[in-house]
């Protein structure tokens, strides 16, 4: 499987990603703080702008087809990131994570996601180049996932059931109280994980599941590993800003999950029939955009009915005073 990128280009892009993450951690997020709407908007604009500048560079350097492949892959990843946001909302509420530490958890979650995506994309590219039938397998995965999303509907996700998270909870000694921004705290001669680390572990565990959906979806658009990787990474880098931008209103777009399911079905079918009929990249981008925009408009026209019954077991999410239910003390 050939790539448009030389080893030097891979190195330059990796250095760019590391530089942006270092700038974020060392300058803009040096002190824990609650991310306000204005800051979230600013960072969202920054990440989207950088992605579009990169897309323009691909256009002038490698041509319109590769640029369109990147843009389509980026849009798909951005759309599928909405599912991540649903899970983040549930996790932060369940663990009563103080809002000033949400950004810290998501920052390290993004680093873990970047590393995992690099491994998954490398494996996917190697498998596809050696075994063509893997494309059919990826397509089937997307179709099954799309059908499951349509069937599940608005059921709440349960990341605490993920086997990776459950393994960590069982075998990593932990304490039930938060200790500021720390993931681990030393008590006596032993180190213990804090609830902040357990949240991070749950986020990383659920990202493995999301990667199984998102990476095949982009391989349905292009078989160039560099386009797959860069479109994926740009979407992930903007995920934190998108969370703080949409966390308070994400529940209002209740038809968006149906739209995402239809997108996965379309991309899965596109991958399965690729040997018989290749859907043009421009048509794919237009269809995906129409599906997503239609689901958002439908959510506004037919708003979700909100139950007036009080929620059980809710506390002050911003104070962090409530004991997180999943953070048992284990010695």
Looking from the CA of 2 toward its CB, the CA atoms found within 13 Å total: 2
Q: What is the pLDDT of residue 310?
A: 46
Does residue 12 lie in a domain region? no
Q: What is the tens place of the pLDDT at every residue in 210-253?
A: 777 778 888 888 888 899 999 999 998 888 888 888 876 777 77
Domain count, the chain: 1
Does residue 325 lie in a domain region? no
Does residue 3 lie in a domain region? no
Does residue 219 lie in a domain region? yes
Residues 117, 236 contacting (CB under 8 angstroms): yes
Distance CA 168, CA 151 (A): 30
Does residue 254 lie in a domain region? yes
Does residue 1 lie in a domain region? no
Does residue 89 lie in a domain region? yes
Q: What is the pLDDT of residue 328?
A: 43
In this prediction the pTM is 0.77
Residue 268 domain boundaries: 35-301
Q: What is the tens place of the pLDDT at every residue in 168-218?
A: 667 777 777 788 888 888 888 888 888 888 888 888 877 777 777 778 888
Distance CA 211, CA 288 (A): 19
Detail the DSSP E strand segments found in the chain.
184-187, 190-193
Does residue 49 lie in a domain region? yes
Distance CA 195, CA 324 (A): 7
Q: What percent of the chain has pLDDT over 90?
A: 12
Q: Could you tell me the pLDDT band of residue 160, with boundaries at 50, 70 and 90? A: low
Q: What is the pLDDT of residue 162?
A: 58
* Whether pLDDT at 286 is above 60: yes
Q: Could you tell me the pLDDT band of residue 274, with boundaries at 50, 70 and 90? A: confident
Distance CA 74, CA 326 (A): 34
Across the strands, what pairs with 86? none
DSSP 196: H
Lowest-pLDDT choice from 19-33, 64-78, 269-283: 19-33
């Amino acid at each position: 499987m050939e790539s448009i990128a030389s080893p030097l280009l891979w190195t330059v892009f990796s250095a760019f990603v590391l530089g942006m993450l270092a700038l974020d951690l060392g300058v803009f997020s040096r002190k824990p703080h609650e991310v306000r709407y204005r800051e979230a908007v600013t960072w969202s604009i920054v990440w989207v702008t950088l992605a579009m500048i990169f897309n323009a560079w691909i256009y002038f350097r490698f041509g319109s087809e590769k640029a369109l492949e990147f843009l389509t892959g980026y849009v798909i990843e951005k759309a599928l990131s909405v599912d991540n946001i649903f899970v983040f909302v549930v996790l932060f509420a369940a663990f009563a994570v103080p809002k000033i530490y949400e950004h810290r958890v998501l920052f390290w979650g993004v680093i873990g996601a970047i590393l995992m995506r690099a491994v998954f994309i490398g494996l996917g590219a190697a498998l596809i180049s050696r075994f063509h039938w893997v494309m059919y397998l990826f397509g089937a995965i997307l179709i099954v996932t799309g059908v499951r999303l349509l069937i599940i509907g608005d059921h709440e996700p349960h990341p605490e059931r993920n086997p990776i998270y459950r393994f960590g909870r069982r075998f990593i000694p932990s304490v039930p109280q938060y200790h500021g921004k720390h993931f681990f705290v030393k008590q006596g001669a032993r180190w213990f994980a804090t609830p902040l680390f357990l949240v991070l572990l749950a986020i990383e565990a659920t990202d493995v599941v999301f990667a199984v959906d998102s990476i095949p979806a982009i391989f349905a658009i292009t078989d160039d590993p560099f386009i797959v990787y860069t479109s994926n990474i740009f979407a992930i880098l903007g995920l934190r800003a998108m969370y703080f931008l949409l966390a308070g209103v994400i529940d209002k777009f209740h038809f968006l999950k149906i739209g995402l399911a239809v997108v996965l079905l379309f991309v899965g079918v596109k991958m399965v029939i690729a040997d018989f009929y290749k859907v043009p990249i421009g048509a794919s981008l237009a269809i995906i955009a129409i599906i997503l925009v239609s689901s958002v408009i439908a959510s506004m026209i037919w708003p979700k009915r909100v139950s007036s019954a009080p929620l059980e077991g809710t506390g002050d999410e911003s104070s962090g005073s409530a004991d997180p239910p999943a953070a048992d003390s284990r010695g």
